[in-house]
Structures are given as C-alpha cells and as structure tokens.
Amino acid sequence: MAIRNLDDLSVFLKVVDYGCFSAAARVLDLAPATVSKQIARMEQALGARLFERSTRQLRITDEGRAVAERARPALALLDEAADVARQGAQTLTGMLRVTAPVAVGVRYLAPVIAAFRERHPQVGFDLQLSDHVVDLYDSDIDLAVRAGPLADSRLVSRKLADTRRILVAAPGYLQRREAPSHPRELPQHKCLLFAYPGLRQHRWTLKQRGRGGKTEMVDIVSDLRSDNGDAVRAWSVAGMGITLRKTWDIHAELCDGRLVRVLLESESTPSTISIVRVRRDPLPRRIGAFVDFLVEQWRTAPWES
C-alpha cells in the first residue's frame, strides 16, 4: 500500500522533529490521539513500524528515519509547486529554514536576510542559531552556514568567504599581566576555551605569518570554558583572559577597542565559510536565489573590512 494522505506525512515529520506525539500535537493544534491515529495509519499503509514506543520515550526506527529523509524534500517540492501555481513563476514564495553559528547569524546573516526579504517579501525565514553543528539529514533545515572542512561529502556546498582565528584579550587584562611574547608563554596566562561534547579546542595551532612561518601547537588547560561563543567573547571583553576566536566573532570589539590582538604575528590557518544543503533535485527557487544573494553580499567578508 502507498501513503494517500499527505497530511499524515506532515504530521509524521512534526513528530520526528519534536520527538513525541504530544509536542507535535500542540504545535499542530491537534489532539494527541489524532496524531497517534495518523501515525498508526501510516504504519499500516507502509507495513512498517516508524517509531518504537515505550512509557518513557519515543524512538524513531531505521525505517522511520528513511521515510523522513525522503519525505522532507518531496513535501517541500509540493509546497513549491503550489506556491508557483498561486503566485506565478516569477514570484519567490515559501519558507527558508537556515541555521548558523550564533555570532555570524546575529551580526552578519540576519542583515542579509532582511535585505533579501525586502526584495522578496513573500519568502519567510526560520533562522535557528546554535554553536553546535545541526544534522541536516535529521531536521527540516534547508541551509546551514558552516566554517572549516566539511566532514560530510554528500552535502552540496558553496564557498562564501574565509575567516581566521586570532588571539585577543581586553586591554585591562594586558595591563595586569604582561602580554606573551611567544606562543609557548600562553599556558602561563588565563586562557578562555570554546568547547562542547565532541569539540574541544584545548590545543591551539598557531602559525607565524609569512611564507615559511613556523607552526606552534600549544596545549591549553583552563577552568574557564563554554559551549557558547557569546559567553567566551563576553569573558574576553570583561578582561578574564586570552582567547582564540574567529574574526567574525570579535570584529566589532576589535574596531571599538574593547579587545586587542595578542601575538600579532601568530594566528590559525584561515578556514573556509560555506553555505551547505542536502542534495535536492530540483532545487526550490527560493533556496537557489537566497544562496546567490548571500554569495554576492559576502563577496568581501564584512568581518575582514
């Protein structure tokens, strides 16, 4: 049997996103029993269990994950077709769901979205900011801004700009402590770390600027660390220590003097910032149009000006 009710499919994806029937029901303004009935109807039509149920949790099965992975782009294309039919081929419509690191999202991506929305007022945005990497195959995210090498070769990527990681501290901290003259002196200082489970930046790799510059790897031990870039930046401005941050994160603070460079000749290797997405064919026009617009807006990286 095949799935005949697209509404059931939409409800199923909400359950996947929110992890339980009751939460999906609240978002959809439905009774939990109705959601449960629709999932059961899908399972009967497919002849497969989509979720493992227990009194404490709901866990998606491998079959359910496979259905979700294929259903998202299919429903998105149906929405796109309906929008084109209603508005005409020249009008961009629909929702764009975008994720990005907090600092780049607030400071640089949000203004680009505002400018794009000015041109295309019928395109909506759901901007989700997190310093953690979001799994694009297990969510309904259309686009993600990522920095550094891409671990998943299945994703379609397009380069936006480059960014560097540089050492910074508040002037007040450097008044109390003599600035280091060599990377090897960093462990003698208070250092601030950005870290979360699966990512620990306790080893700072610094290269001397210029051709043939020597690379130094410095192990940092710190009792001040956070999984949120805003917190690390705030600690830096408060004079709590030296930190290694991307230029996009501390550009404004460098410009107004709240932070200054430390070890001017040492910085990490530049990394590429990309916009990535799951492969979809055909690609909804609003996604392609926004990517083109973002590439043009960041032709000169705003955090390097």
Q: Return the CATH number at 124.
A: 3.40.190.10
Q: Is the model's pTM score more than 0.75?
A: no
pLDDT of 28 above 70: yes
For the chain, the distance separating the N- and C-terminal CA atoms, rounded to the nearest angstrom, is 59
pLDDT at 295: 93
pLDDT at 238: 96
Q: Is residue 86 part of a domain?
A: no
Q: Is residue 113 part of a domain?
A: yes
Q: Are residues 15 and 151 in the same domain?
A: no
pLDDT of 118 above 90: yes
Q: What is the DSSP letter of 261?
A: E
Query: Can you tell me the mean pLDDT for 173-188?
Result: 91
Q: What range defines the domain where residue 200 resides?
A: 165-269
Q: How far apart are CA 203 and CA 183, in angstroms?
A: 12
pLDDT at 203: 81
Q: Is residue 171 part of a domain?
A: yes
pLDDT at 152: 66
Q: How far apart are CA 96 and CA 106, in angstroms?
A: 17
Residue pLDDT, tens place only, 38-60? 888 888 888 888 888 877 788 88
Q: Is residue 78 part of a domain?
A: no
pLDDT band at 9 (very low <50, low <70, confident <90, very high): confident
Query: Can you tell me the mean pLDDT for 25-37?
Result: 87
Contacts of 36 (CB under 8 A, 6+ apart): 21
pLDDT at 255: 92
CATH number for the domain spanning 48: value is 1.10.10.10
pLDDT at 35: 87
pLDDT band at 198 (very low <50, low <70, confident <90, very high): low
pLDDT at 72: 81
User: Which range (4-8, 10-14, 157-161) has the least confidence?
Assistant: 4-8
Ramachandran angles phi, psi of 173, nearest 5°: -65, -40
pLDDT of 134 above 70: yes
Q: Is residue 190 part of a domain?
A: yes
Q: Are residues 178 and 261 in the same domain?
A: yes
Strands (E), the chain: 51-53, 58-60, 94-100, 123-129, 143-147, 156-163, 165-169, 191-196, 199-200, 203-208, 215-219, 225-226, 242-246, 260-261, 266-267, 271-277
Q: Are residues 39 and 187 in the same domain?
A: no
Q: Is residue 211 part of a domain?
A: yes
Q: Is residue 250 part of a domain?
A: yes
Domain count of the fold of the chain? 3
Query: Can you tell me the mean pLDDT for 276-296?
Result: 87
pLDDT of 88 above 60: no
Q: Are residues 184 and 260 in the same domain?
A: yes
Question: Angle at the Cα of 126 (from 84 to 144), degrees rounded to 5?
Answer: 95
Let me know: does 155 contact 276? Beta carbons within 8 Å. yes
pLDDT band at 103 (very low <50, low <70, confident <90, very high): confident
pLDDT at 279: 80
Q: Are residues 36 and 182 in the same domain?
A: no
Q: Is residue 84 part of a domain?
A: no
